[in-house]
Amino acid sequence: MSKKYFGTDGIRGRVGEAPITPDFMLRLGWAAGMAFKQQGKCKILVGKDTRISGYMFESALQAGLSAAGADVALLGPMPTPGVAYLSRTFKAEAGIVISASHNPHYDNGIKFFSTSGKKLPDEIEQMIEELLDTPMQVAESEHLGKASRINDAAGRYIEFCKSSVPTSTNFSGLKIVIDCAHGATYRIAPSVFSELGVDVVTIGNQPDGININAGVGSTSMAALQKAVVEQGADMGIAFDGDGDRVQMVDHTGAILDGDDLLYIIATDLIERERLPAGTGVVGTLMTNFGLEMALGQLGVPFVRANVGDRYVMQEMEERGWVLGGEGSGHILCTQHHTTGDGIIAALQVLLAVRRRGNSLATERLAWNKLPQTLINVRFAGGCDPLEHPEVIAQVERVTTELAGRGRVLLRKSGTEPLVRVMVEGENKAEVLRHAQALAAVVEQACG
């Protein structure tokens, strides 16, 4: 059955517009409490990022969970991967994150984690949606849930992040600018790195409820690039609003995206013999073809999942692999955590840099990122460009011409009638020419 509210990463939308409203959150809390309550009472952890609407939705969820008879443990501002970790260690039935990740403050959303610290299976999401369509029945007073606050939640998560690198690790001598996006990592990330010996300079660490992701963070890298150069720092690290994405900057101000970080972590695991024999790396349909080629030269298998960390994780679990991610900075290191974690991914990169004695700039140039051109083409609603014979023929022609040294990808937007035409290859001018020709065929066939 198709889901009415849940998308690929929970429920998300604009605050005040259905379903991101207080009354819906009350009912969602109740439905979730009913779904997770197997026998008697259950415990649900609730964390949030720093956007102002989090206060409102935290209260509404708490009331709904209590009405269902579920106990609530409030974590306060906490990165999404921190909620996943604490849900597992506290043996809670579930963890809830109130966040819209890298979106502006006027958006918000809900993410769920299971007791194992992983995204909810589809059948549980379906159960919650079915309960949302039933009358809300409040538990008898003696069976209502209680609310408490976990005061040492941040400290527990900080120690967990530090445990992802060897106990002998000391990053003293490194000066790093950390951009917390005025989001959920604003206290935790600086503590993790400073406690490991890093000389930390922090920006994006003054949340006011409105400024989350505003001109800072992993989706707005200019502020970090400027700060790294001005501070004479060795590198910079940028998180998004809820801390599950990371991108980095070398000492020259050049950006390293998720593909760059995946390569650094993968090669370090190989050198330390921590990548099990026969296992590889999972990327997505959008992962740069150069990464696939570079890993192939090292004998490391590479497969592509659909875009979205949920699909990357599914592919990793099916294959028993331990490393995957997206260019956006969702990096999954499942030897350390059950979900994507920006802080832990950044620590693995620092570990590689320190162990090899290289600069981050040297690591960035260790593989050849191929030029890529992306063109969005609007099409008429009654036409499917991906099925049109002329488009198919043009894709086949370009694919043949780029065989072994590039690739073509056409993807339809999930929210509007757009086709994203993407071409990658060794020659920038050739890539642009092919992308423009493909876009013209799509426009002519279905425009």
Active site residue 114: no
A 10 A CB-CB count for 429 gives: 9
Residue 443: Cβ-neighbour burial (10 angstroms; 0-12, 13-18, 19+): middle
DSSP category for residue 387? G
Asked whether 287 and 280 are in contact (CB, 8 A), the reply is no
Asked whether 425 and 370 are in contact (CB, 8 A), the reply is yes
Dist CA 319 CA 2 (whole Å) = 26
Report helix, strand or coil for 149.
strand
Asked whether 206 and 214 are in contact (CB, 8 A), the reply is no
Dist CA 165 CA 111 (whole Å) = 27
- Residue entry with tokens 């740069």: 288
DSSP 104-145: -TTEEEEEEEETTSSBPPHHHHHHHHHHHTS---PPPGGG--
Catalytic-labelled residue, pool 53, 87, 99, 101: 101
DSSP category for residue 327? T
Buried b (16+ CB within 10 A) or exposed e, 329-348: bbbbbbebbbbbbbbbbbbb
DSSP 48-104: E-S-THHHHHHHHHHHHHHHTTEEEEEEEE--HHHHHHHHHHTT-SEEEEE--TTS-
DSSP category for residue 272? T
Q: Is the dihedral of CA 302, 305, 309, 311 positive or negative?
A: negative
Q: How many helices (H) and strands (E) does the chain have?
A: 14, 18
The structure tokens listed for 196 are: 């490991």
Dist CA 429 CA 432 (whole Å) = 5
Distances (CA, A) of 376 to 139, 141, 391: 51, 56, 15
Q: Which helix (H) or strand (E) holds 293?
A: helix 289-297
Residues noted as catalytic: 101
